[in-house]
Amino acid sequence: MSCKYQGLELSYKLQLLPIYQDELLRSWIIRNALFLNMKPSQLSTIIFQNTDIWKSDIDTQLSTKSIESLLGTVEIKKEDLNNTLISLNCDYFYPHLNDSKQIKWVLSIGVHQRGQKSSIQYCPLCLSTDQAPYFRTYWRFGFLTSCHIHNVCFLDNCYSCGASIDLVRYDKKGDEHFKQLDCLKCSQCSFDLRDAPKIRPHHHELKANHEHFELLVNGYGSVGNLHFNYSHIYYDGFKRIMSFLLCSKNGVEMFNHIVSINNLDQNFVTDRSIVRRHSEPEHLSLDMRRVSIIFSYHVMKDWPISFIKICKEFGITKRFIYSPHLDYPFWLKKVLDLELA
């Protein structure tokens, strides 16, 4: 193998640290770059033979040309690479990829994107107990808000200064060397993410997250009192419920009610008041999504009894939730048509 790019010629494939089965591709490149005392953007340029690709979301989409370049430059098994690309592993939660350029449910991490940006979620206990800390693929999914292993809340910013977690830019001063654990430091204040508090989730949030993770892994399973042979059927309906609760002006009163009865932080209400029209649930803050996760457990445990009851309590009918431009799975559409018409 011989690869020449911008004056650099490789006569052999790069031997890099192996990628973990559930690791983000970006995380893997960062770990290797810091190990080699390089900027991740520099290593990315060598791997993909493209100076701009680091600015794109390589975790969700990679062109055939970029994949071929990676496989030709780095000693890595194709199946290991395929396992980490979200676009190749989204059938369980969003099998409609050919209908949209955007993979629904995947959080934006502010990589060369316009508009409101989210930040990568993380579990401080996972990072603390990893032999070699890394960022997981499932930390980018909007229907998860807590860790199924350690039963603690995900965080999505620096606990010390509140800055978003930056997995794009890494700089060093003067002749300093990069350290492998630099990826765990806040880009603004250098706070170690492992030292963030370990917060216990609301018990409904915890139970819902466990159900959501099992669906994600298995592709089928139960949520509340319903069983789904295909997990995306649940996620499709849940996204419609989340969109109403978090993004529609008609869902404000119900949202505030959920915050109140569950003794949640009233700051959630403030966040809800500034949501822009046509927002997607996965583009909203972790705290906002946390409210919808709690609500999902409440209405799914005895579906559709509690859902119908709370909708009627707030005067919510089918027209407030339904959109003729979207598809609704049978388990949700049936209730909208028969009970909330």
Of residues 224 and 101, more confidence is placed in 224
**Does 111 have pLDDT greater than 90?**
no
Return d(Cα 50, Cα 251) in angstroms, integer: 45
Is the model's pTM score more than 0.85?
A: yes
Report the C-alpha gap between 38 and 31 in whole angstroms.
10
Give the whole-angstrom CA distance, residue 96 versus residue 283.
Answer: 19
Query: Which helix (DSSP H) or strand (DSSP E) does residue 256 occupy?
Result: helix 252-261
Rounded Cα gap, residues 100 and 43, in angstroms: 30
Average pLDDT over residues 153-170: 90
Q: Quick check: 93 pLDDT over 60?
A: yes
Measure the CA–CA gap between 67 and 148, rounded to whole angstroms. 31
Position of tokens 């693929």? 137
Question: Residue 2's pLDDT band (boundaries 50, 70, 90)?
Answer: very low
Question: What pLDDT was estimated at residue 240?
Answer: 96
Q: What angle, 0 to 180 degrees and rounded to 10, lies between the N-to-C axes of helices 40-48 and 64-73? A: 100
Tokens 């969700």, residue? 60
d(CA 34, CA 43): 10
Please state the rounded mean pLDDT for residues 2-20: 70
Give strand pairing partners of 157: 164
| pLDDT at site 8 | 54
CA–CA gap between residue 184 and residue 166 (Å, rounded): 10
**CA–CA gap between residue 136 and residue 123 (Å, rounded):** 9
pLDDT band with cut points at 50, 70 and 90 for residue 102: confident
**What mean pLDDT, rounded, does the chain reach?**
90
Query: If pLDDT is split at 50, 70 and 90, which confidence band does 66 have?
Result: very high
Per-residue pLDDT averaged across 274-293, rounded? 88
Supply the pLDDT for residue 276.
79
290's torsion region: left (phi>0), alpha (psi -120 to 50) or beta? alpha
CA–CA gap between residue 306 and residue 295 (Å, rounded): 10
Backbone angles phi, psi at 59, to 5 degrees: -75, -30
213: closest CA among 260, 265, 306, 151? 151
pLDDT band of residue 28 (cuts 50, 70, 90) is very high
User: Shortest CA distance to 6 belongs to which of 32, 35, 42?
Assistant: 42
Mean pLDDT in residue range 141-166: 94
Strands (DSSP E) along 197-242, which ranges? 221-223, 226-228
Q: Which phi and psi angles does 9 have, rounded to 5°?
A: -120, 125
**Residue 16: closest CA among 75, 61, 84:** 75
| Range in 52-61, 154-163, 274-283 the model is least confident about | 274-283
| Averaged pLDDT for residues 317-339 | 94
With contact defined as beta carbons under 8 Å apart, do 233 and 161 qualify? no
Q: Positive or negative, the Cα torsion across 209, 166, 16, 177?
A: negative
- Write out pLDDT tens, residues 189-207: 999 999 999 999 999 999 9
